[in-house]
Chain A
């Protein structure tokens, strides 16, 4: 599998070298009327770590991402994102925080009345004070990263599902965020396209070392991420030798009945004694 060309001369984002976790959930609960979706979820995402989030449909995986982004508020508990307690934060303050976070939505959520270029450049154009030439250069660079530079003037409706997902990733990456949230980035895609998306995510993880929380239904995607790394020399993702872990920490989180039933790395997952988890990953 070959990965898209990477602009290696690009300056890497300045990761804040602190030991504070990127995300902390403390006993977070959320209900919609009588339906209690989350019943005291607690976990933390370390700085620079990538965490894959599993659970059956309706277990509240996507809600966790929306809570982390401040799009929803928890009924109880505390959420800390990039060192800031967002539980009671006002929407206006959240906009500032969200500028440090990139989100890839389940169905891409591209603005259908804007072209690919306008979609990807959205955040930059909203910031004002950035010259058009700079915006154009950055958009082309990030679209080259996802191998879609030729789609600049197309509308989302003219793209395939996989291409839309890659544009959504480009849109999330354009401002070099400190935290990335992926909501089922391979959901509804064929295996080949899914692999392309996972390659992109692995490449992003290993090159930029951005903290990331990824919701996925496909176990094989998370296993590929845990067992492969991006090779800058060959511009490919390559399997890790047996027993070796990738440079960027990768962990797994499994939800069941609104609670976290597993939070650990690949080895711990492989050796779990929990019957439900065994059945889930088999």
Chain B
């Protein structure tokens, strides 16, 4: 295996970050340039949104259930088992709903975008598209980014709701808690900052998922092996970026919203 010098490696990584930033800029700028491929946006919204619905529902439901189960153990020691609803609600809405939904969608769609676009690159379909007078960034990337941001927002809301239902199921069946009390606690504990934080995250994460997937796909080189590599890199990069940005945006929003 050929060894790369640390300087070259650093340069390569900086170059990739620079290319990615330019790529994102172009994807956003294309929103304000004609033509807007609305039909492609709708098609992508269906693929990303409706297609991801089953895994998002399952993830949300099991996460809510597990949260209720784990929380009950601790809360019972302090005689506060009735607060299960509060804990499930705040955890799901503020953190686990957006993050887990994004990770699931990243696993499904970043890889899908990278492999689809990567295959188009290595079979010269992207070149053919340019030769036929179409900008691949406008036709392929911008609709995916727009649809992913839009659909992840709603998928997160669904995930939050289903998570609360999963928590309710555990609270009712295993913990023998009153359903109305669970819902009351879950609802009353939520404040504007919780909801705002929980809904701003999927917008950013959706952007990361789509741009990373498309970026690795459009830069795939080296035939089918290159497509496979691009797919793996897209999922890894998107997942790591989601978790890293989650930390920063949470801290940032806590400061901005004077939130403790």
Contacts and interface: CB of A to CB of B under 8 A. Distances in A.
Contacts of A105: 124, 127-128, 131
Contact of B128 (A91, A99, A109, A128): A109
A71 B133 contact: no
B124 A126 contact: no
B128 A111 contact: yes
Contacts of A111: 120, 125, 128-129
Interface string A89-106: 001100110110101011
Nearest to B137: A91
A126 B133 contact: yes
A98 B133 contact: yes
A126 B132 contact: yes
Interface string B120-153: 1001110111111111000000000000000000
Contact of B132 (A66, A96, A98, A106): A98
B222 interface: no
A139 to B, nearest CB: 14
Contacts of A103: 128, 131
B35 interface: yes
A66 B133 contact: no
A39 interface: no
B134 A126 contact: yes
A109 B125 contact: yes
B237 to A, nearest CB: 25
Centre residue among A69, A95, A171 by max chain B CB count within 10 A:
A95
B12 to A, nearest CB: 13
A126 B123 CA distance: 21
Interface string A120-137: 001100101000000000
Contact of B133 (A95, A106, A110, A171): A95
A132 to B, nearest CB: 14
A101 B133 CA distance: 10
A27 interface: no
A101 B124 CA distance: 17
Interface in B18-47: 35
Main SS class of interface, A: mixed
A257 interface: no
Given A98-B133, A122-B132, A107 B123 contact: yes
A54 to B, nearest CB: 21
Contacts of A101: 131
Nearest to A69: B131
A98 B128 contact: no
A109 B127 CA distance: 8
B125 A98 contact: no
Interface in A49-102: 66, 69, 71, 91-92, 95-96, 98-99, 101
B35 A128 contact: yes
A109 B133 contact: no
A106 B35 CA distance: 29
Nearest to B139: A126
Nearest to A94: B130
B125 A71 contact: no
Contact of A98 (B123, B124, B130): B130
A247 interface: no
A71 B127 contact: yes
Contact of B127 (A66, A99, A110): A66
B68 to A, nearest CB: 43
Contacts of B129: 111
A231 interface: no
A100 to B, nearest CB: 10
Contacts of A96: 133
B33 to A, nearest CB: 9
A122 B129 CA distance: 9
A10 B123 CA distance: 33
B125 to A, nearest CB: 5
A66 B120 CA distance: 17
Interface in B76-126: 120, 123-125
B135 A95 contact: yes
B60 to A, nearest CB: 31
B124 A107 contact: yes
Interface of B: 35, 120, 123-125, 127-135
17 contacts: A92-B135, A95-B133, A95-B135, A98-B131, A99-B133, A103-B128, A105-B124, A105-B127, A105-B128, A106-B124, A109-B124, A109-B128, A110-B128, A111-B128, A122-B132, A122-B134, A126-B133
Top 3 A-B residue pairs of the complex, sorted by shortest distance between their CB atoms: A109-B128, A109-B124, A103-B131
Interface of A: 66, 69, 71, 91-92, 95-96, 98-99, 101, 103, 105-107, 109-112, 122-123, 126, 128, 171
Given A69-B130, A95-B135, A126-B133, 14 more contacts: A66-B127, A95-B133, A101-B131, A105-B127, A105-B128, A107-B123, A107-B124, A109-B128, A110-B125, A111-B129, A112-B123, A112-B125, A128-B35, A171-B132
